[in-house]
Amino acid sequence: MFSCLSTRQVDIDGSILTYIVKEREVENVNEARDFEVTFNTAVAEVLCTCGLFNLEGFLCRHALCVLSRNGYEEIPPRYILSRWRKDIPHSNVFDYGCKCTSVL
């Protein structure tokens, strides 16, 4: 299991803030990794070098640490994809690999 050890701001470029989030494995306290997270305060856009949002469709703990540090108590709506929402009807098509034969 991992935990975010520290979040420090390293750069400001207008409305874009850059943070380094240090992550440490709980079982191995001697090993730590750094992730760079950029946060655009003008549009509430957060981007982490781990790329979890692009891969899985939900925010990583590094991005959540930066949002929390900037006073966000709720996840911005742009990061809650329709596939995770219960209030949006889904059109699922199930394919169970049926080997059916047509009967005339």
Alpha-carbon dihedral angle through residues 80, 39, 43, 88, given to the nearest 10 degrees: 0
Which position has the higher pLDDT, 100 or 22?
22
CB 18 within 8 A of CB 80: no
Q: Is it the case that residue 89 has pLDDT exceeding 90?
A: no
Which position has the higher pLDDT, 54 or 43?
43
Pairwise CA distance, residues 77 & 40, whole Å: 15
The pTM (predicted TM-score) of the whole model is 0.72
